[in-house]
Structure formats: C-alpha cells, structure tokens
C-alpha cells in the first residue's frame, strides 16, 4: 500500500471538477455567485487590501459557493428520494435556499465593509 496513488488522486480531482462544471451548467444561482466571486477576486487584485482582508474575502466567497453546492446536493437528493414534491420536501428545500441566501447576504456585507472605504477614498 502506497501513501499516495497519483492516478487515484487524478481521478478524484477530475470527478470533483466534473461536479463543479455540472453544477455551474445547471444552476443559475451558482453561476451568479461565481460571477460575484470573480468580481471580488478582481477587486482584491486591484485594490490595496491587506492580507487579512483578502483572506476573509476568500473565506466568505468560498463559504457561499460551498453552501450553494450543499443546497444543490440536498435538492438533488430530495428529488431522487421523493420525486413527487411533498410538503416536507418543499420545507427542506426552502430551508437550504435560506441558508444559501443568508450566506450570500453576509458575504455581501463583508465585501461592503472591506471594499467601501477603498472605493470612496477614505482608506489609503
């Protein structure tokens, strides 16, 4: 038994990237969040944000994307296990969507708090 099998690792990465591509193609909210992430990364590159600010922004962006992925997974599982939407399935889907919405709002506020002083010229 070897510690690291490069072929298995490569397959794992290909499957993970395939999952990302699949979600990107099928989920409008994920595409919008990726566009927002790109905008944040451009601002990080252009504005003189500190390393701590950049790390925090990367963390909240990643959190939003991960929560949206979990939301998509939960919806897919619910559809698979219960093809006819029951009241309970709808409640779970709504709650997952709420988690994604709250993460997005929090990330937006963090971005606003960090970027606004740079954009209005009150931070060097």
Instruction: Give the total number of structural domains in the chain.
Output: 1
- Reading phi first (left if > 0) and then psi (alpha if -120 to 50, else beta), residue 121 is in left
Neighbours of 20 (CB within 10 A): 14
Which listed residue (68, 103, 104, 110) is catalytic?
Answer: 68
Looking at residue 121, the DSSP 8-state letter turns out to be T
Residue 1 lies in a domain: no
- The residue ranking higher by pLDDT, 3 or 57, is 57
Range of the domain at 80: 28-120
| Predicted local distance difference test score (pLDDT) of residue 40 | 98
Residue 32 lies in a domain: yes
Close Cβ partners of 23 (under 8 Å, ≥ 6 residues apart) = 30, 68, 69, 72
Q: Residue 68 catalytic? A: yes
Residue 89 lies in a domain: yes
Residue 55 lies in a domain: yes
| Predicted local distance difference test score (pLDDT) of residue 22 | 95
Residue 16 lies in a domain: no
Residue 17 lies in a domain: no
Average pLDDT, the chain: 92
Residue 83 lies in a domain: yes
**Alpha-carbon gap, residue 43 to 121, rounded angstroms:** 14
Q: How large is the average pLDDT for residues 67-74?
A: 95
Residue 8 lies in a domain: no
Query: What is the value of pTM for the model shown?
Result: 0.88
The domain that holds 106 is classified in CATH as: 1.10.287.3610
**Alpha-carbon gap, residue 106 to 113, rounded angstroms:** 11
């Amino acid at each position: 038994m070897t510690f690291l099998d490069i072929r298995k690792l490569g397959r794992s990465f290909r499957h993970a990237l395939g999952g990302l591509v699949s979600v990107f193609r099928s989920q409008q909210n994920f595409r919008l969040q990726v566009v927002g992430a790109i905008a944040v990364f451009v601002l990080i590159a252009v504005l003189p944000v500190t390393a701590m600010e950049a790390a925090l922004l990367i963390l909240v962006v990643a959190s939003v994307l991960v929560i949206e992925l979990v939301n998509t997974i939960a919806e897919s599982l619910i559809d698979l296990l219960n093809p006819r939407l029951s009241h309970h399935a709808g409640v779970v889907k709504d709650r997952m969507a709420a988690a994604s919405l709250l993460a997005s709002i929090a990330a937006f506020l963090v971005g606003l708090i960090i970027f606004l002083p740079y954009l209005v010229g009150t931070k060097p």
